[in-house]
A and B are shown apart, each in its own frame.
Chain A
Amino acid sequence: MPLPPKLQSILDTFAEFPDPADRTNLLLSYADVFREVPPSVATRPFGKDHLVPHCESEAYVWALMRPDGTMTFHFAVENPSGVSAKALAAILERSLSGLRPADIAEVTPDIVEHIFRQNISMGKGLGLMSMVEAVRALAKRQVRSMQ
């Protein structure tokens, strides 16, 4: 199953930068444009049912359904050191929002390895993959509810 085009394009961009320093800068550029969940969707204290499990960056995720049957994702990252989580959240929000749940449900956590490569630390890996799994679970839940 091919990845959604926007996500594939981002992965292709990362693949063009074998140098760790370049990849770091690219990741930071995503972390810099991370937008926290708007108050119209959620305010602190965030509900624990939105907390991504196994993520030490304390990432939260929300999914909204649009009238056209596509989804929108919002994130919050509570740990101020959660730079990697912010970068991934920005990537997921930009590449998956606007897609149908069935397409999002096909995205697997191994994209984390393609994005972070040597920039992934041992503790971060599981948490980042859990972020993808959380998004995927929300999409799967939506698929089931539509059947």
Chain B
Amino acid sequence: MSAITDRGYKNPDVLVSTDWVAEHLTDPSVRLAESNEDVLLYPAGHIPGAVQVDWTADLNDQVRRDYITRRGFETLMSRIGATPKTTIVFYGDKNNWWACYAFWVFQLFGHTNARIMDGGRVKWTKEGRAMTREVPAYSPAKYRAPERKDAPVRAFQKEVLAHVKAKGQLVDVRSPEEYAGTRMHMPDYPNEGALRGGHIPRAKSIPWARAINAEDGTFKTAGELKDLYVTTNKLNPAKPTIAYCRIGERSSHTWFALKYLLGFKNIKNYDGSWTEWGNSVGVPIEK
């Protein structure tokens, strides 16, 4: 794969390579954060110095279906020893699904000093780089976060309904079977409770994984991404766009690609996604 800076991305700085990470393992201004679906992966081995940011335990409210509050974010950042000036570099399993999801949640609190390690855990391990089970201990940091600001990057159902009425751009990043309504969960995943199958009217079906190179989990070049999203699927980067999946994790990956790599001006992630839409009374559904 070509160097990140040679791929034509609108915002190449938001991606770092495994080489870059290897060179910054002891950089105190950088904090590596591993976010996985499988909670056993981090304790089984992670990049030296990396902390774990778990999507359920650290990012989600433990009672309501929502994200942590400002105070929760401050507690998290204190635990991982990060200040507002710390560069957080996320990486993880599943080709960085959860890394992008964590990255997106961090944007709700305005922590823009964040990066994704291109290729994630799979690339790092394929390259035979160092892994450890040693959990680092960082001195608790003082982090004063702003109140969570959802509007710039997060869409709620009411906004999605208005968006549908306005014939706005939507991207359904689930599998083609989920989009068609023949399946209500990911292949090989349990059905997590959607009563209806199908997709939000006029949503384009662009499964998230088409944005990556399967062999090493890296993002495709800007040219390839543009072919996929703009040329083939007729998405206009200048128009408001909403991405969704099942609970907002896969669509975080697409959100990241559209916002930072292709420079979509107004792209939001609808984290309620199909588990909300497919259970809601009276909302329009297409099959």
- Cβ contact within 8 Å between B38 and A84: yes
Q: Is B235 an interface residue (CB 8 A)?
A: no
Contact partner, A121, options B39, B43, B122, B188, Cβ 8 Å: B39
* Bound CA–CA A48/B36 (angstroms): 28
Contact partner, B192, options A81, A83, A122, Cβ 8 Å: A122
Q: Is B74 an interface residue (CB 8 A)?
A: no
Q: Is B41 an interface residue (CB 8 A)?
A: yes
- Cβ contact within 8 Å between A83 and B44: yes
User: A54 — which chain B residues lie within 8 A by C-beta?
Assistant: 188
Chain B 182-202: CB-based contact to A (< 8 A → 1; otherwise 0):
000010111010000000000
Give chain B nearest CB distance to A100 CB in angstroms: 31
B contact residues, total (Cβ < 8 Å): 17
Give chain B nearest CB distance to A23 CB in angstroms: 10
- Cβ contact within 8 Å between A24 and B39: yes
- Cβ contact within 8 Å between A83 and B190: no
**A55 with B188: in contact, given A27-B40, A81-B93, A121-B37 (CB under 8 Å)?**
yes
* Bound CA–CA A31/B39 (angstroms): 14
* Bound CA–CA A80/B126 (angstroms): 10
Q: Is A126 an interface residue (CB 8 A)?
A: yes
Chain A 37-76: CB-based contact to B (< 8 A → 1; otherwise 0):
0000000000000000011100000000000000000000
Q: Is B125 an interface residue (CB 8 A)?
A: yes
* Bound CA–CA A49/B167 (angstroms): 48
- Cβ contact within 8 Å between A122 and B189: yes
User: B93 — which chain A residues lie within 8 A by C-beta?
Assistant: 81
**A119 with B188: in contact, given A80-B125, A81-B93, A81-B121 (CB under 8 Å)?**
no
Give B1-37 interface residues, CB cut-off 8 Å to A. 36-37
Give B121-160 interface residues, CB cut-off 8 Å to A. 121-122, 125
Contact partner, B188, options A80, A81, A118, A123, Cβ 8 Å: A123
User: B188 — which chain A residues lie within 8 A by C-beta?
Assistant: 54-56, 123, 126-127
Q: Which residue, of B39, B189, B190, has the highest number of chain A Cβ atoms within 10 A?
A: B39
Q: Which residue, of B44, B125, B192, has the highest number of chain A Cβ atoms within 10 A?
A: B44
Q: Which residue, of A56, A118, A121, has the highest number of chain B Cβ atoms within 10 A?
A: A121
Chain B 109-128: CB-based contact to A (< 8 A → 1; otherwise 0):
00000000000011001000
Known interface pairs A27-B40, A83-B40, A123-B37; 7 further A-B residue pairs with C-beta atoms within 8 A, sorted by A's residue number: A81-B38, A81-B121, A81-B122, A118-B39, A121-B38, A122-B190, A124-B37
Sort A-B residue pairs by CB-CB distance and give the 5 closest, nearest first.
A83-B40, A83-B44, A54-B188, A121-B37, A126-B190
